[in-house]
Amino acid sequence: MTETTDTQPGWFSAEELQSIRGRMPVLYVQAVPVRVDEAGMVTHIGLLMRADESGDFNRSVVSGRVLYHERIRDALLRHLEKDLGPVALPRIPASLQPFTVAEYFPTPGITPFHDPRQHAVAMAYVVPVTGDCQPRQDALDLVWLTPEEAAREDMTGGQGALVRQALAHVGQVP
């Protein structure tokens, strides 16, 4: 996670964030970037490659915290730009109804979603992108997989289940 200065409102120091994560759920947004054809059918799903704290490489969707006093739409745009680059050209849905709300627990097995750092609640969206995507920040790579390939991806923390839920939401049940 990147450190920020006190000049950015809504950010916490590493120590403050660790304390908060240990005492209350944290709100996140998650975006499953997709490419669609002219009929609006999903043709590809974009998955990021990241290195975790132990140095292992994992695929993931776009994800990040919602800042204090930040609109959900703005949080989605900020994280999509942060991870996919400034010319990804995401098309945020007019209605901000998530396709699911994923509850991440530090204890495995409560839900399909697990985050050892915290109890987090994530609103998840399928977001078509039409521009050139260049992974940035802590994303090392971006790969576009067919829906069939993406459905078979085994991702940490239950994000594979999230991708399969996204596919079901867009009518492509794996």
Can you tell me the distance from the alpha carbon of 128 to that of 34, in angstroms, rounded to the nearest whole number? 5
Can you tell me the distance from the alpha carbon of 129 to that of 33, in angstroms, rounded to the nearest whole number? 6
Transcribe 26-81 into DSSP letters. EEEEEEEEEEE-TTS-EEEEEEEEEE-TTS-EEEE-EEEEPPTT--HHHHHHHHHH
10-residue averages of pLDDT along the chain (174 residues): 45 76 86 96 95 85 94 96 95 93 95 93 97 87 96 92 96 82
pLDDT at res. 2: 36
pLDDT at res. 94: 87
Could you give the 3-state DSSP secondary structure of residue 19? helix
* Beta carbons of 112 and 158 less than 8 angstroms apart: yes
The pTM (predicted TM-score) of the whole model is: 0.87
Cα(first)–Cα(last) distance of the chain, in Å? 32
Please give the single-letter amino acid code of residue 139. A
Alpha carbon of residue 79 to chain centroid = 8
Alpha carbon of residue 2 to chain centroid = 16
For the chain, how many residues are written?
174
pLDDT at res. 143: 95
Please give the single-letter amino acid code of residue 160. G
pLDDT at res. 25: 87
Dmax (CA) for the chain in angstroms is 48
Task: Name the DSSP class of 105.
Answer: B
